[in-house]
Amino acid sequence: MNADIFTEKMMEALKEGMEKTQEYGHSELTPLHIIAAISEQEDQYLQNILEKAGAKPLDFDRALNKALVRLPAQTPAPLQATPSMGFSKVINKAKEIMKSMKDKFVAVDTFLLACIEE
């Protein structure tokens, strides 16, 4: 994965998502890990989107955590999680969206849109 195509905020989310795989003992990095990381970012970007859509951010976070807890885990956690097939599909979709929008970088909004479309 070429890190040069991601915005700083998206790179933060990817890094924090990898940390979440360790936290939960997951061997694969999934879009859920990245969404959870985005949800915890200080700018509250995802929470604002959810509120504008009429959703309750707290309910979303609970459902997200419930989904993360249900993923297969191991103890001790693997040293390095590998990208899941779903994660790879979402990243490829985000790159397609980036190109169609004539952007130079995959941003958080592009990643979220790719999650919805994929």
Query: Parallel, antiparallel, or unpaired: how do β-strands 28-29 and 82-83 relate?
Result: parallel
- For residue 83, report the phi and psi dihedrals to the nearest 5 degrees: -65, 135
Handedness of CA 59, 23, 12, 89 (dihedral sign): negative
The model's pTM: 0.93
Instruction: Give the whole-angstrom CA distance, residue 11 versus residue 85.
Output: 19
Q: pLDDT in tens for each of the 118 residues of the chain?
A: 678 899 999 999 999 999 999 999 999 999 999 999 999 999 999 999 999 999 999 999 999 999 999 999 999 988 899 999 999 999 999 999 999 999 999 999 999 999 999 8
- In the chain the beta strands, taken as DSSP E runs, fall at 28-29, 82-83
